[in-house]
Structure 1
Amino acid sequence: MSEEQQYQMPRIGDDAPYFEVQTTQGPIKSTDYKGKWLVLFSHPADFTPVCTTEFVAFQEILPELKELNTELLGLSIDSNQSHLAWVRNIEENFNVKIEFPVIADLSKDVAKKYGMIHPNDSGTEANRAVFVIDDQQKIKSIIYYPLTTGRNMAEIVRLVKALQTTAKHQVSTPANWTPGDQVLVPPPGTQQDADARVNDDSVEVVDWYLAKKDLNE
């Protein structure tokens, strides 16, 4: 079996690939997160400028993620000793204590299972991948950023909130949605349902295929 066949890039809706790893906070298994949502992200390397700014920013959103029953887990192919030295350096330089664990993936096993290494971007480093995994260990979203571009933390939090809203209420969220905005109800599946939709006073009908409503949470 080729390496490409062994490590097929996961897709939205797949089970999150299993792992057992060493982290800056001790051994962790992916199944430890069952019952919680997880934001798993990779970064190219420790002690690099963009990654350092991202770690500070990830730590800033950690309390809000925890309020959403969501944990944060970082990864790069550096050693655990390198990770420990770097997070201590971040605390010294920025007065920010990194409270989420970071996977030491020297074997690249997790990075390969999750498709975090893109040879045309870098043959040796993990790129800036973000996986949102739900409380049933299903992959709900995947975002990739190039090595040169830092991530937007507000969008990651918004994404988690949107995915959780969809899971809870069986609705969709429109462009630029934030909590409190109207959501989109599923479009009709039959001609009869479409005829009924245009006369449905319980939703705001733009047209038969596009209707919005407020959530009463």
Structure 2
Amino acid sequence: MSQLQEESRPPRLELNGPAPDFEANTTHGPIRLSKWATGKWVILFSHPADFTPVCTTEFMAFAKLHDEFEKRGVKLLGNSIDSNYSHIAWVRNIEEKFGVKIPFPIIADLDQKVARLYGMVHEPSSATAAVRCVFFIDPEMRIRTMIYYPLNVGRNFDEILRVVDALQTVDNNAVACPADWRPGDPVIVPPPGTAQDAEARVKDSTLQVTDWYFSKKKL
């Protein structure tokens, strides 16, 4: 691979790694991700195309949960390989036909700048449309979760909200969340790192101790 090709490759996205910054035009005007998101969590998500039925259901689902995301300090940012005029027309159509107002910005990405930067274009699926990616970006501009869905399967929005709750819970309490965890469920206490601490753990009456390495507690 030549040096030019190497330099043109998008950065590798990794969990807990940096979220690439960018500038883009949106339905709410031009933004720079890092400044627009200051102090907030961001869910950056892509959809294959405007005026398509599955994407329409997803945008309405995001819109209906918008207040829940706001309560959690989360900003929503959509993206597809469409023009700003197409986005504006589609948003207006959703409000007219379905009575749902889309309150968050959508990136106009005809040049695929953002889609390529975040690896949203998976060419075995389509070279001209983004798959359904969801990136959870924390206030430190780190990518904390990445979820991908195919073109023909809509997202699970209960899970997207649950992931936000789980990420914020583990950050705020230095714990872990078990399988199928939901707010109010017990959380997992990190296992001890020494034999002495393991001995103390099994005697800890403040925790739900199954064994030295497996303990839960209510927050």
User: Which TM-score bucket, shorter chain as reference?
Assistant: over 0.9
Q: TM-score, normalised by structure 1?
A: 0.96
Shift of 1:29: 0.8
1:8 equivalenced with 2:11 (yes/no): yes
Shift of 1:4: 8.5
1:96 to 96, 100, 105: 100
Residue identity over aligned pairs, in percent, reads 56
Contact between 1:10 and 1:113, CA under 8 Å: does it hold in 2? no
**Matched residues, number:** 215
Gaps in structure 1 of 5+ consecutive residues: none
Matched residue of 2:30: which SS?
A: strand
1:204 equivalenced with 2:174 (yes/no): no
Q: TM-score, normalised by structure 2?
A: 0.95
Counterpart residue number, 1:27: 30
Shift of 1:11: 1.1
Contact between 1:39 and 1:132, CA under 8 Å: does it hold in 2? yes
Aligned equivalents of 1:206, 1:110: Cα separation in 2: 47
Cα deviation per residue 1:98-156 (whole Å; 9 max; x = unaligned)?
Answer: 01000001111111111111111212211000001111111110000000110011111
Aligned equivalents of 1:134, 1:144: Cα separation in 2: 18
Cα deviation per residue 1:28-52 (whole Å; 9 max; x = unaligned)?
Answer: 1111202001111000000111001
Shift of 1:3: 6.5
1:114 equivalenced with 2:118 (yes/no): yes
Shift of 1:6: 2.0
1:69 equivalenced with 2:73 (yes/no): yes
User: Cα gap change, 1:23/1:12 in structure 2, threshold over 3 Å: closer, same or farther?
Assistant: same
Counterpart residue number, 1:18: 21
Matched residue of 2:65: which SS?
A: helix
Matched residue of 1:14: which SS?
A: coil
Counterpart residue number, 1:86: 90
Gaps in structure 2 of 5+ consecutive residues: none
Cα deviation per residue 1:134-191 (whole Å; 9 max; x = unaligned)?
Answer: 1111111000000011001111111101000011111100111111111001111122
Counterpart residue number, 2:155: 151
Aligned equivalents of 1:99, 1:55: Cα separation in 2: 10
Counterpart residue number, 1:129: 133
Contact between 1:42 and 1:127, CA under 8 Å: does it hold in 2? yes
Shift of 1:5: 5.8
Counterpart residue number, 1:46: 50
